[in-house]
Amino acid sequence: MTSDTSAVSPAILRRLPVLVTGGAGFIGSNLVDRFASEGHDVLVYDALARPGVDANLAWLKRRHPEKVTAITGDVRDETAIGDAAKEAKAVFHMAAQVAVTTSLTDPREDFEINVRGTLNLLDALRRRGEPVPLIFASTNKVYGDLADVKLEKKGDAYTPIDPVVRNTGVGEWRPLDFHTPYGCSKGAADQYVLDYARSFGIPTCVLRMSCIYGQRQMGTEDQGWVAHFLIQALRGEPISIYGDGCQVRDVLDISDAVEAYAKAWERIEAVRGRAFNLGGGPENAVSLKQLIVYIESLIGRSVETHYSEWRAGDQRYYVSDARLLAGTLDLKRPVPWRQGVAALARWLTEESSLSLLQRTVTHLQTTEVVS
């Protein structure tokens, strides 16, 4: 576990950069692009361990050669992450082990990255003795498998029997209930971030994300399922579904997620020491089967699916009640999921140079008009 800090210019540190850990990842790279476009100097701290993220970093450097600097480093390296945080004017902590399946294979590494790595960063800010804002990317998995939420199956989707949950989603009132090592590690980090606001006065905020999708997401079977489904369909390859495919998630376009993170920093005094849900809400709730049907309408052909047993900790239904964050930060209504998924399909087609039938392009253009 080593870190390469040689790429960091002393000049950028003197300019007080925004530090984005995991800044070459999907959400991180979109955040970096937003802040650099606004004129901020941005320091990307990323281990570059996930396939494809090096391409995101190269894209950022092409777009913002004078604004983006990078450190190839691991959050488990206490010295390196401490050095990166020394001059940061704000920190967005996106770096994490992100897959439930990986946490079950190697729970110790999952803990080291998600808990120890977060503590390394928090403590570096504590030692500075300055009120440096830190916004943390948490997850809806902190609420557990929600097995007590009574559901009924309507068509191709589960829906809550309780009309309040059905109409508004799962709110921050929900008790924490960590399932799987991943849920434990992200949940522990979530709580450390909140407590460092209480115990040490660091202006932190936790955003418990549902399913974020959009450009620069090269999803896999373990993480980033919306993009993964699209990639498989566009390539003409089968999609593996764990469970019956009727499980429901609320999905949120990356543009809306980035806006929420940016406003959380802008209004840090309103959100400091608090945890919020971040997701598309009931109006952007969709089951796996429903998404596949829509993808088929986009590409103009059927998609092959394979079914397997449910995976550990999988929620049959999770939809965020994100009204508290939207009201606190005055966020606009999110991008409708059909519109956002169609835009992601177009981006993936252009990015990967996939050879599609002409009718696919026609379907995508039609969707853009009617969404």
Residues with a known catalytic role: 182
Instruction: Kindly provide the residue ranges of all beta strands, DSSP E only, lying in the chain, ordered along the sequence.
Output: 18-21, 42-46, 68-72, 90-93, 134-139, 151-154, 157-160, 204-209, 211-213, 239-242, 248-253, 274-278, 285-287, 305-308, 317-318
Instruction: Kindly provide the residue ranges of all beta strands, DSSP E only, lying in 157-298, ordered along the sequence.
Output: 157-160, 204-209, 211-213, 239-242, 248-253, 274-278, 285-287
Q: Measured between alpha carbons, how far is 203 from 90 in angstroms, rounded to an integer? A: 10
Contact 68, 42 (CB under 8 A): yes
Q: Which two tokens stand for residue 329?
A: 């930060």
Contact 318, 288 (CB under 8 A): no
Angle (CA) 256-257-263 rounded to 5° is 90
